[in-house]
Amino acid sequence: MTAPHLRIHAIDIAERPVVFTQPFRFGSMTMTAAPQAYVRVSAEVEGSATVGASAELMVPKWFDKDPAKSPEQTIAELRRSLVLARKAYLGGEDTAFGLHAARIGGQVAVCRREGIPRLAAAFGPAEIDKAVLDALFRACGVGAFEGLARNLGGLDARLTPDLDETAIEAFLAGRAPRSSVPVRHAVGLLDPLDGLPEALRATGSRYLKIKLGGDLAADRARLAAIGTLLEGRVLGASLDANEQYALAALRELADALDGDPSLRPIRERLIYVEQPLPREDTFDEAPGILLPLVVDEADDAYDAFPRARALGYAGVSSKSCKGLWKALLNAVRAQAPGLFMTAEDLTCQPGLALQQDTVLAAFIGVPHAERNGHRYVDGFTDSAEGDLFARGLPFLYRRGDDGRVRLSLENGEIAATVLGTTAGYGSVVHPDALPLF
| pLDDT score of 69 | 97
DSSP 369: E
Quick one: residue 329, left, alpha or beta (phi over 0 = left, psi -120 to 50 = alpha)? alpha
In the chain, the domains with their CATH numbers are: 6-141 (3.30.390.10), 180-433 (3.20.20.120)
Residues of the chain with pLDDT under 70: 1
Q: What is the pLDDT of residues 320-377, one digit of tens each?
A: 999 999 999 999 999 999 999 999 998 899 999 999 999 999 999 999 999 988 889 9
Q: Which residues of 232-265 are buried (b: 16+ CB within 10 A; e: fewer)?
A: eebebbbbbbbbbbebebbbbbbebbeeeeebeb
Neighbour-count burial of 344, counting CB atoms closer than 10 A to its CB (0-12 exposed, 13-18 middle, 19+ buried): buried
| pLDDT score of 1 | 65
| pLDDT score of 370 | 96
Let me know: does 84 contact 267? Beta carbons within 8 Å: no
| pLDDT score of 380 | 92
**Nearest Cα to Cα of residue 95 among 150, 55, 39:** 150
| pLDDT score of 347 | 84
Rounded to whole angstroms, the Cα distance separating 404 from 400 reads: 5
* Residue 205, helix vs strand vs coil: coil
pTM, rounded to two decimals: 0.97
Other CB atoms within a 10 A radius of the CB of residue 395 amount to: 11
